[in-house]
Structure 1
Amino acid sequence: MATAGRQRVAIFGSSVDPPTGTGGHLGLVSFLASKFDGVLVLPVYEHIFDSKRSRLAPFEHRVEMAKRCFAGVEGKVEVSLVEKEVAQLVEAGQRVGTYDVLEHLRKIPENKNRDFVLALGGDTFADIVAGKWKNGNEILASTEIAVISRPGVAATEYDPSKVKGVCFYEMPRASDVSSTAAREACAVGDEETLAKHLHPDVVAYIKANKLYGYGHEAENAEAPAPIDAT
Protein backbone atom coordinates (compact mmCIF):
# COMPACT_ATOMS: atom_id res chain seq x y z
CA MET A 1 0.00 0.00 0.00
CA ALA A 2 1.13 3.56 -0.68
CA THR A 3 1.97 5.84 2.24
CA ALA A 4 -0.36 8.77 2.92
CA GLY A 5 -0.31 11.28 0.10
CA ARG A 6 1.79 9.10 -2.19
CA GLN A 7 0.94 6.80 -5.07
CA ARG A 8 2.54 3.53 -6.06
CA VAL A 9 2.57 3.48 -9.84
CA ALA A 10 3.55 0.42 -11.85
CA ILE A 11 5.73 0.98 -14.91
CA PHE A 12 5.15 -1.39 -17.81
CA GLY A 13 7.48 -1.05 -20.78
CA SER A 14 6.79 -2.89 -24.01
CA SER A 15 7.16 -2.50 -27.76
CA VAL A 16 3.33 -2.95 -28.03
CA ASP A 17 3.86 -3.87 -31.67
CA PRO A 18 0.90 -4.27 -31.65
CA PRO A 19 -0.55 -4.45 -28.10
CA THR A 20 -2.38 -7.73 -27.57
CA GLY A 21 -5.79 -8.25 -25.99
CA THR A 22 -7.09 -9.79 -22.77
CA GLY A 23 -4.81 -12.81 -23.05
CA GLY A 24 -1.72 -10.60 -23.34
CA HIS A 25 -0.86 -6.93 -22.81
CA LEU A 26 -4.40 -5.86 -21.96
CA GLY A 27 -4.73 -8.61 -19.37
CA LEU A 28 -1.40 -7.69 -17.77
CA VAL A 29 -2.17 -3.96 -17.61
CA SER A 30 -5.59 -4.73 -16.12
CA PHE A 31 -3.91 -6.95 -13.52
CA LEU A 32 -1.41 -4.22 -12.61
CA ALA A 33 -4.19 -1.63 -12.38
CA SER A 34 -5.92 -3.82 -9.79
CA LYS A 35 -2.77 -3.95 -7.63
CA PHE A 36 -1.41 -0.40 -7.88
CA ASP A 37 -2.66 3.18 -7.70
CA GLY A 38 -1.88 3.62 -11.37
CA VAL A 39 -0.09 2.13 -14.36
CA LEU A 40 2.31 3.98 -16.64
CA VAL A 41 2.64 2.22 -20.00
CA LEU A 42 5.89 3.05 -21.79
CA PRO A 43 5.95 2.08 -25.47
CA VAL A 44 9.53 1.37 -26.49
CA TYR A 45 10.90 4.16 -28.69
CA GLU A 46 13.69 2.12 -30.26
CA HIS A 47 14.24 -1.58 -29.71
CA ILE A 48 17.46 -2.47 -27.88
CA PHE A 49 18.22 -5.17 -30.47
CA ASP A 50 19.28 -3.88 -33.90
CA SER A 51 17.64 -6.83 -35.64
CA LYS A 52 14.21 -5.86 -34.28
CA ARG A 53 14.52 -2.07 -34.42
CA SER A 54 13.87 -1.65 -38.13
CA ARG A 55 10.74 -3.77 -38.13
CA LEU A 56 8.93 -1.81 -35.39
CA ALA A 57 5.84 0.08 -36.51
CA PRO A 58 6.31 3.86 -36.17
CA PHE A 59 6.34 5.00 -32.55
CA GLU A 60 3.31 7.28 -32.98
CA HIS A 61 1.20 4.41 -34.31
CA ARG A 62 2.19 2.13 -31.44
CA VAL A 63 1.30 4.85 -28.93
CA GLU A 64 -2.13 5.29 -30.50
CA MET A 65 -2.77 1.54 -30.52
CA ALA A 66 -1.79 1.32 -26.85
CA LYS A 67 -4.19 4.13 -25.95
CA ARG A 68 -7.02 2.32 -27.69
CA CYS A 69 -6.11 -1.04 -26.18
CA PHE A 70 -6.00 0.16 -22.56
CA ALA A 71 -8.73 2.83 -22.68
CA GLY A 72 -11.30 0.62 -20.97
CA VAL A 73 -9.12 -0.58 -18.09
CA GLU A 74 -10.54 0.23 -14.66
CA GLY A 75 -8.06 2.37 -12.76
CA LYS A 76 -5.66 5.06 -13.83
CA VAL A 77 -3.67 3.97 -16.88
CA GLU A 78 -1.46 6.40 -18.80
CA VAL A 79 0.38 5.81 -22.05
CA SER A 80 3.59 7.82 -21.83
CA LEU A 81 5.91 9.29 -24.47
CA VAL A 82 8.79 9.39 -22.01
CA GLU A 83 11.09 7.02 -23.91
CA LYS A 84 11.00 9.33 -26.93
CA GLU A 85 11.53 12.37 -24.70
CA VAL A 86 14.61 10.83 -23.09
CA ALA A 87 15.99 9.68 -26.44
CA GLN A 88 15.81 13.25 -27.72
CA LEU A 89 17.70 14.55 -24.68
CA VAL A 90 20.64 12.19 -24.69
CA GLU A 91 23.70 12.50 -26.88
CA ALA A 92 23.18 11.40 -30.47
CA GLY A 93 23.87 7.72 -30.92
CA GLN A 94 23.69 6.93 -27.21
CA ARG A 95 21.36 4.11 -26.17
CA VAL A 96 18.56 4.97 -23.78
CA GLY A 97 18.23 2.47 -20.95
CA THR A 98 15.57 1.80 -18.35
CA TYR A 99 17.66 3.53 -15.68
CA ASP A 100 17.76 6.73 -17.78
CA VAL A 101 13.98 6.64 -18.16
CA LEU A 102 13.39 6.08 -14.44
CA GLU A 103 15.68 8.96 -13.47
CA HIS A 104 13.94 11.24 -15.97
CA LEU A 105 10.51 10.32 -14.60
CA ARG A 106 11.56 11.12 -11.04
CA LYS A 107 12.69 14.60 -12.05
CA ILE A 108 9.30 15.57 -13.47
CA PRO A 109 7.52 17.81 -10.91
CA GLU A 110 4.15 16.12 -11.47
CA ASN A 111 5.68 12.85 -10.25
CA LYS A 112 6.95 14.12 -6.89
CA ASN A 113 4.32 12.14 -4.98
CA ARG A 114 4.71 8.98 -7.03
CA ASP A 115 6.73 5.91 -6.10
CA PHE A 116 7.47 3.96 -9.26
CA VAL A 117 7.46 0.16 -9.30
CA LEU A 118 9.03 -1.52 -12.32
CA ALA A 119 6.91 -4.44 -13.56
CA LEU A 120 8.96 -7.31 -14.98
CA GLY A 121 8.33 -10.88 -16.00
CA GLY A 122 10.12 -13.67 -14.16
CA ASP A 123 12.69 -14.26 -16.92
CA THR A 124 13.44 -10.55 -17.22
CA PHE A 125 13.91 -10.24 -13.47
CA ALA A 126 16.35 -13.15 -13.61
CA ASP A 127 18.31 -11.31 -16.31
CA ILE A 128 18.60 -8.09 -14.32
CA VAL A 129 19.67 -9.99 -11.19
CA ALA A 130 22.28 -11.81 -13.30
CA GLY A 131 23.78 -8.50 -14.39
CA LYS A 132 22.59 -8.60 -18.00
CA TRP A 133 21.00 -5.14 -17.93
CA LYS A 134 22.67 -1.78 -18.45
CA ASN A 135 22.79 -0.08 -15.02
CA GLY A 136 20.97 -3.11 -13.61
CA ASN A 137 22.47 -2.77 -10.13
CA GLU A 138 21.47 0.90 -10.00
CA ILE A 139 17.92 0.01 -11.00
CA LEU A 140 17.66 -2.66 -8.29
CA ALA A 141 19.04 -0.30 -5.65
CA SER A 142 16.77 2.63 -6.52
CA THR A 143 13.51 1.10 -7.74
CA GLU A 144 11.06 -1.41 -6.31
CA ILE A 145 10.41 -4.33 -8.66
CA ALA A 146 7.11 -6.13 -9.22
CA VAL A 147 7.76 -9.60 -10.63
CA ILE A 148 4.78 -10.97 -12.53
CA SER A 149 4.95 -14.73 -13.02
CA ARG A 150 2.68 -17.59 -14.00
CA PRO A 151 1.43 -20.08 -11.40
CA GLY A 152 3.98 -22.79 -10.64
CA VAL A 153 7.02 -20.82 -11.86
CA ALA A 154 9.82 -20.75 -9.28
CA ALA A 155 10.92 -17.31 -8.10
CA THR A 156 14.43 -16.10 -8.91
CA GLU A 157 16.76 -15.88 -5.92
CA TYR A 158 18.33 -12.48 -5.24
CA ASP A 159 20.42 -10.65 -2.65
CA PRO A 160 18.02 -8.55 -0.50
CA SER A 161 20.85 -6.23 0.51
CA LYS A 162 21.23 -5.06 -3.09
CA VAL A 163 17.62 -4.27 -3.92
CA LYS A 164 15.22 -1.59 -2.78
CA GLY A 165 12.33 -4.02 -2.73
CA VAL A 166 10.74 -6.88 -4.65
CA CYS A 167 7.13 -8.01 -4.64
CA PHE A 168 6.01 -11.17 -6.41
CA TYR A 169 2.63 -11.63 -8.05
CA GLU A 170 1.12 -14.68 -9.70
CA MET A 171 -1.02 -13.74 -12.66
CA PRO A 172 -3.61 -16.22 -13.90
CA ARG A 173 -2.44 -18.05 -17.00
CA ALA A 174 -3.31 -16.11 -20.12
CA SER A 175 -4.40 -17.48 -23.45
CA ASP A 176 -1.88 -18.10 -26.19
CA VAL A 177 -1.71 -14.70 -27.90
CA SER A 178 1.25 -12.81 -29.31
CA SER A 179 2.17 -9.68 -31.24
CA THR A 180 4.09 -11.82 -33.72
CA ALA A 181 1.02 -13.88 -34.57
CA ALA A 182 -1.02 -10.69 -34.92
CA ARG A 183 1.50 -9.17 -37.35
CA GLU A 184 1.53 -12.36 -39.41
CA ALA A 185 -2.27 -12.38 -39.48
CA CYS A 186 -2.29 -8.78 -40.71
CA ALA A 187 -0.03 -9.66 -43.61
CA VAL A 188 -2.50 -12.25 -44.92
CA GLY A 189 -5.75 -10.62 -43.81
CA ASP A 190 -6.59 -13.37 -41.31
CA GLU A 191 -9.57 -11.78 -39.54
CA GLU A 192 -10.21 -14.72 -37.21
CA THR A 193 -6.68 -14.66 -35.79
CA LEU A 194 -6.74 -10.87 -35.42
CA ALA A 195 -9.97 -11.08 -33.44
CA LYS A 196 -8.37 -13.67 -31.14
CA HIS A 197 -5.17 -11.73 -30.47
CA LEU A 198 -6.17 -8.05 -30.49
CA HIS A 199 -8.73 -5.64 -29.05
CA PRO A 200 -11.32 -4.65 -31.69
CA ASP A 201 -10.27 -0.97 -31.51
CA VAL A 202 -6.67 -1.96 -32.22
CA VAL A 203 -7.76 -4.06 -35.20
CA ALA A 204 -9.76 -1.11 -36.54
CA TYR A 205 -6.74 1.19 -36.18
CA ILE A 206 -4.47 -1.27 -37.98
CA LYS A 207 -6.94 -1.58 -40.85
CA ALA A 208 -7.42 2.19 -41.15
CA ASN A 209 -3.67 2.78 -41.30
CA LYS A 210 -2.74 -0.41 -43.19
CA LEU A 211 -0.11 -1.38 -40.64
CA TYR A 212 1.89 -4.62 -40.77
CA GLY A 213 0.99 -5.13 -44.41
CA TYR A 214 -2.76 -5.26 -43.78
CA GLY A 215 -4.63 -4.95 -47.06
CA HIS A 216 -1.53 -5.50 -49.19
CA GLU A 217 -2.45 -9.15 -49.76
CA ALA A 218 -5.77 -8.14 -51.27
CA GLU A 219 -4.14 -5.42 -53.36
CA ASN A 220 -1.64 -7.92 -54.74
CA ALA A 221 -4.38 -10.43 -55.48
CA GLU A 222 -6.40 -7.84 -57.40
CA ALA A 223 -3.44 -6.54 -59.40
CA PRO A 224 -3.64 -7.53 -63.08
CA ALA A 225 -1.11 -9.99 -64.35
CA PRO A 226 1.72 -8.43 -66.37
CA ILE A 227 1.37 -8.66 -70.14
CA ASP A 228 3.79 -11.03 -71.78
CA ALA A 229 5.31 -9.01 -74.59
CA THR A 230 7.34 -11.88 -76.01
Structure 2
Amino acid sequence: MAKIGIYGSSFDPITNVHLWTASTVAHRCKLDKVIFLPCSNKRKDKEIKTENTHRWDMLQLAIAKDERFIANSYEMEQEGWNIYTYDTMKYFREQNPNDDIHFIMGADLLVDIGAGLWKNGEALVDENKFIVMARHGIDMLSTISRSPILRNHDDGRFHLIDKGLAMEISSTYIREEFAMGGEPKYLLPSACYDYIKEHNLYQK
Protein backbone atom coordinates (compact mmCIF):
# COMPACT_ATOMS: atom_id res chain seq x y z
CA MET A 1 0.00 0.00 0.00
CA ALA A 2 1.37 3.39 -1.02
CA LYS A 3 0.81 6.62 0.87
CA ILE A 4 -0.10 9.33 -1.65
CA GLY A 5 -0.67 13.07 -1.33
CA ILE A 6 -2.89 15.00 -3.77
CA TYR A 7 -1.51 18.52 -4.26
CA GLY A 8 -3.76 20.80 -6.28
CA SER A 9 -3.08 24.33 -7.48
CA SER A 10 -3.20 26.44 -10.62
CA PHE A 11 0.62 26.09 -10.95
CA ASP A 12 0.63 29.25 -13.07
CA PRO A 13 3.60 28.95 -12.98
CA ILE A 14 4.88 26.26 -10.62
CA THR A 15 7.38 27.81 -8.19
CA ASN A 16 10.28 26.61 -6.09
CA VAL A 17 8.02 27.02 -3.05
CA HIS A 18 5.55 24.52 -4.55
CA LEU A 19 8.38 22.03 -4.94
CA TRP A 20 9.84 22.73 -1.51
CA THR A 21 6.41 22.34 0.07
CA ALA A 22 5.77 19.03 -1.70
CA SER A 23 9.20 17.72 -0.74
CA THR A 24 8.78 18.79 2.89
CA VAL A 25 5.32 17.22 3.15
CA ALA A 26 6.52 14.01 1.50
CA HIS A 27 9.43 13.77 3.93
CA ARG A 28 7.52 14.70 7.09
CA CYS A 29 4.46 12.57 6.32
CA LYS A 30 6.34 9.64 4.79
CA LEU A 31 4.54 9.92 1.45
CA ASP A 32 5.54 7.57 -1.33
CA LYS A 33 4.12 9.85 -4.03
CA VAL A 34 2.86 13.40 -4.43
CA ILE A 35 0.42 13.91 -7.28
CA PHE A 36 0.55 17.47 -8.66
CA LEU A 37 -2.93 18.32 -9.87
CA PRO A 38 -3.25 21.50 -11.96
CA CYS A 39 -6.80 22.85 -11.95
CA SER A 40 -8.97 23.53 -14.96
CA ASN A 41 -8.62 26.97 -16.52
CA LYS A 42 -12.44 27.06 -16.68
CA ARG A 43 -12.89 27.30 -12.92
CA LYS A 44 -15.13 30.19 -11.92
CA ASP A 45 -13.18 31.00 -8.75
CA LYS A 46 -9.82 31.44 -10.50
CA GLU A 47 -8.75 33.74 -13.31
CA ILE A 48 -6.29 31.65 -15.30
CA LYS A 49 -5.25 33.13 -18.62
CA THR A 50 -2.31 30.83 -19.33
CA GLU A 51 -3.10 28.01 -21.72
CA ASN A 52 -3.33 24.57 -20.15
CA THR A 53 -0.57 23.26 -22.37
CA HIS A 54 1.93 25.80 -20.98
CA ARG A 55 1.06 25.11 -17.34
CA TRP A 56 1.26 21.38 -18.02
CA ASP A 57 4.59 21.59 -19.84
CA MET A 58 6.16 23.70 -17.07
CA LEU A 59 4.89 21.30 -14.41
CA GLN A 60 6.45 18.37 -16.25
CA LEU A 61 9.77 20.20 -16.51
CA ALA A 62 9.72 21.10 -12.82
CA ILE A 63 9.14 17.62 -11.41
CA ALA A 64 11.07 15.55 -13.95
CA LYS A 65 14.01 14.79 -11.65
CA ASP A 66 12.09 13.73 -8.52
CA GLU A 67 10.70 10.21 -8.75
CA ARG A 68 8.26 10.91 -5.90
CA PHE A 69 6.43 13.52 -7.96
CA ILE A 70 3.74 12.76 -10.55
CA ALA A 71 1.67 15.14 -12.69
CA ASN A 72 -1.98 14.28 -13.27
CA SER A 73 -4.29 16.14 -15.69
CA TYR A 74 -7.61 14.89 -14.27
CA GLU A 75 -8.95 18.28 -13.12
CA MET A 76 -7.41 20.11 -16.05
CA GLU A 77 -9.52 17.96 -18.38
CA GLN A 78 -12.79 18.63 -16.55
CA GLU A 79 -15.31 21.37 -17.18
CA GLY A 80 -14.29 23.82 -14.47
CA TRP A 81 -17.79 24.63 -13.27
CA ASN A 82 -18.62 20.98 -12.64
CA ILE A 83 -15.59 19.77 -10.68
CA TYR A 84 -15.26 19.92 -6.91
CA THR A 85 -12.61 18.58 -4.54
CA TYR A 86 -15.09 16.02 -3.24
CA ASP A 87 -15.39 14.52 -6.74
CA THR A 88 -11.64 14.66 -7.31
CA MET A 89 -10.82 12.80 -4.12
CA LYS A 90 -13.49 10.20 -4.85
CA TYR A 91 -11.90 9.68 -8.28
CA PHE A 92 -8.41 9.15 -6.84
CA ARG A 93 -9.66 6.80 -4.12
CA GLU A 94 -11.40 4.73 -6.79
CA GLN A 95 -8.30 4.75 -8.99
CA ASN A 96 -6.09 3.70 -6.07
CA PRO A 97 -8.30 1.46 -3.90
CA ASN A 98 -5.39 -0.15 -2.06
CA ASP A 99 -3.53 3.08 -1.29
CA ASP A 100 -3.72 5.64 1.51
CA ILE A 101 -4.82 8.92 -0.13
CA HIS A 102 -4.42 12.34 1.51
CA PHE A 103 -5.50 15.81 0.35
CA ILE A 104 -2.72 18.40 0.82
CA MET A 105 -3.95 21.91 1.59
CA GLY A 106 -3.16 25.12 3.44
CA ALA A 107 -4.78 26.09 6.72
CA ASP A 108 -6.70 28.84 4.93
CA LEU A 109 -8.65 26.17 3.07
CA LEU A 110 -9.29 24.33 6.34
CA VAL A 111 -10.94 27.52 7.61
CA ASP A 112 -13.17 27.70 4.53
CA ILE A 113 -14.20 24.04 4.75
CA GLY A 114 -14.93 24.43 8.45
CA ALA A 115 -17.12 27.44 7.71
CA GLY A 116 -19.21 25.38 5.28
CA LEU A 117 -18.04 27.27 2.19
CA TRP A 118 -17.11 24.18 0.14
CA LYS A 119 -19.50 22.15 -1.96
CA ASN A 120 -20.10 18.77 -0.25
CA GLY A 121 -17.70 19.93 2.48
CA GLU A 122 -19.03 17.65 5.21
CA ALA A 123 -18.92 14.59 2.96
CA LEU A 124 -15.42 15.60 1.84
CA VAL A 125 -14.23 15.65 5.45
CA ASP A 126 -16.10 12.46 6.33
CA GLU A 127 -14.58 10.40 3.51
CA ASN A 128 -11.00 11.64 3.30
CA LYS A 129 -7.71 12.29 5.10
CA PHE A 130 -5.91 15.62 5.07
CA ILE A 131 -2.42 17.06 5.38
CA VAL A 132 -2.83 20.68 6.46
CA MET A 133 0.03 23.17 6.20
CA ALA A 134 0.22 26.08 8.61
CA ARG A 135 -0.54 29.60 7.43
CA HIS A 136 0.49 32.74 9.31
CA GLY A 137 -2.20 33.91 11.71
CA ILE A 138 -4.33 30.74 11.59
CA ASP A 139 -4.66 28.51 14.66
CA MET A 140 -5.35 25.12 13.10
CA LEU A 141 -6.39 23.38 16.32
CA SER A 142 -8.78 26.20 17.17
CA THR A 143 -10.16 26.12 13.63
CA ILE A 144 -11.01 22.44 14.03
CA SER A 145 -12.49 22.79 17.50
CA ARG A 146 -14.77 25.70 16.50
CA SER A 147 -16.26 23.97 13.47
CA PRO A 148 -18.83 21.14 13.87
CA ILE A 149 -17.94 19.92 10.37
CA LEU A 150 -14.30 19.49 11.38
CA ARG A 151 -14.44 18.57 15.06
CA ASN A 152 -17.01 15.83 14.53
CA HIS A 153 -14.43 14.06 12.34
CA ASP A 154 -11.31 14.86 14.35
CA ASP A 155 -10.21 11.25 14.64
CA GLY A 156 -6.68 11.62 13.32
CA ARG A 157 -7.62 12.41 9.73
CA PHE A 158 -6.07 15.90 10.00
CA HIS A 159 -2.27 15.78 9.90
CA LEU A 160 -1.26 19.32 10.86
CA ILE A 161 2.15 20.53 9.71
CA ASP A 162 4.10 23.66 10.51
CA LYS A 163 6.83 23.61 7.87
CA GLY A 164 9.08 25.58 10.20
CA LEU A 165 9.90 28.23 7.62
CA ALA A 166 7.52 30.71 6.03
CA MET A 167 8.10 30.91 2.28
CA GLU A 168 5.26 32.76 0.65
CA ILE A 169 6.56 33.52 -2.85
CA SER A 170 3.44 33.12 -4.97
CA SER A 171 2.77 32.43 -8.63
CA THR A 172 0.97 35.79 -8.71
CA TYR A 173 4.13 37.60 -7.60
CA ILE A 174 6.20 35.83 -10.27
CA ARG A 175 3.68 36.68 -13.01
CA GLU A 176 3.70 40.33 -11.91
CA GLU A 177 7.49 40.42 -11.93
CA PHE A 178 7.61 39.11 -15.49
CA ALA A 179 4.89 41.57 -16.55
CA MET A 180 6.83 44.51 -15.10
CA GLY A 181 10.14 43.44 -16.60
CA GLY A 182 11.44 42.10 -13.28
CA GLU A 183 13.83 39.23 -12.74
CA PRO A 184 12.29 36.35 -10.74
CA LYS A 185 14.83 33.89 -12.12
CA TYR A 186 15.61 32.13 -8.85
CA LEU A 187 12.03 31.83 -7.61
CA LEU A 188 11.11 29.01 -9.98
CA PRO A 189 12.88 26.04 -11.60
CA SER A 190 15.41 27.18 -14.20
CA ALA A 191 13.78 25.03 -16.90
CA CYS A 192 10.46 26.80 -16.25
CA TYR A 193 12.12 30.21 -16.32
CA ASP A 194 13.63 29.39 -19.70
CA TYR A 195 10.28 28.09 -20.94
CA ILE A 196 8.53 31.32 -19.92
CA LYS A 197 11.15 33.39 -21.71
CA GLU A 198 10.98 31.23 -24.83
CA HIS A 199 7.17 31.45 -25.03
CA ASN A 200 6.89 35.08 -23.87
CA LEU A 201 4.47 34.19 -21.09
CA TYR A 202 3.13 36.68 -18.52
CA GLN A 203 4.12 39.71 -20.58
CA LYS A 204 1.94 42.83 -20.63
Same fold (TM over 0.5): yes
Letter in 1 for 2:25: L
Write the mapping of 1:74-113 to structure 2, written as runs, cut at 5 A.
75-85=67-77, 87=78, 94-108=81-95, 111-113=96-98
1: CA distance, partners of 2:169 / 2:19: 11
Cα gap change, 1:126 to 1:152, in 2 (>3 Å): closer
Alignment match, 1:201: 191
Per-residue deviation at 1:62?
0.8
Tell me, which stretches of 5 or more residues in structure 2 are unaligned?
Answer: none
1:16 equivalent among 4, 11, 18: 11
Pairing 1:166–2:158 present: yes
Identity, % of aligned pairs?
A: 31
Q: How many residues align?
A: 195
Matched, 1:180 2:167: no
Shift in alpha-carbon separation, 1:28–1:47, aligned structure 2, 3 A: farther
Contact 2:144 2:154 in 1 (8 A): no
SS of residue matched to 1:56: coil
Deviations for 1:134-155, whole angstroms, at most 9, x for unmatched residues?
A: 1111110000011111588522
Letter of the 2:32 counterpart = D
Q: What residue is the counterpart of 1:65 in the other structure?
A: 58
Alignment of 1:131 onto 2:126: no
Distance 1:148 1:138 in 2: 21
- Larger relative contact order (CA 8 Å, sep ≥ 6): 2
- Residue 83 of structure 2 aligns to which amino acid in structure 1? V
Counterpart AA for 1:69: A
Alpha-carbon offset, residue 197 of structure 1: 2.0
TM-score, normalised on structure 2?
A: 0.85
Give a deviation string over 1:146-166, Cα, whole Å, max 9, x none: 111158852222444335611
Q: Distance in 2 between matches of 1:102 and 1:206?
A: 31
Deviation, structure 1 residue 94: 4.5
The letter for the 1-side match of 2:161 is Y
> Please, what TM-score do these two structures have when normalized by structure 1?
0.76
Amino acid at match of 2:69: V
Amino acid at match of 1:67: Q
Q: Deviations over 1:1-26 (max 9, x none)?
A: xxxxx1111111000111111xx211
Alpha-carbon distance between aligned partners in 1 of 2:170 and 2:93, rounded to the nearest angstrom: 32
Residue in structure 2 matched with residue 26 of structure 1 by the alignment: 19
5+ residue gaps in structure 1?
1-5, 217-230
Is 2:100 the partner of 1:115? yes
What is the RMSD computed on CA atoms of the aligned residues?
A: 2.3
